[in-house]
Amino acid sequence: MNHSAPSQAVVPPLASAEPARVLALAQQVKDTVTIVCMNLMLLVPIAWPGLVLYGLRWRLTRRGARPSRVLWSLTLIHELLCFWLFADIKPDSDMAGMGLFAISYVLGTLLSIGALLTLMSLAAPAPAAYSTPPADAAD
């Protein structure tokens, strides 16, 4: 008697998570440049959640790491909030040079969305394989 096991959700192989790892690397490079440019502004408590996310995201850059939807979702929220903060700076204000950070956060938002879409595609169920042809194929 040969019974086939019921189909179960298959965990994606780690190699298929490579695009998510590349996006995590790109996000970390972008954040490293932003951190270097912000220097003393990072002492302000509003910057601390971004620094925590930056530290946590390093584990996503290792080969073999499982991508985290929660971490990417938090990153997306952080990038959107920071964009909102810096996008409101007027070019004629004393902080006009800070407006460039808005571009950085747009890039971070796009990277986060790309990573979440990649993770969604990894979790998509495989098409069902039929052991017998569908009823309408018999005609």
How far, in Å, CA of 61 to CA of 21, rounded?
5
DSSP one-letter code for 67: P
Model's pTM, two decimal places? Answer: 0.71
User: How far does Cα 37 stand from its chain's mean position?
Assistant: 22
- pLDDT tens, residue by residue, 24-79: 999 999 999 988 888 877 778 878 898 899 999 998 888 877 888 999 999 999 99
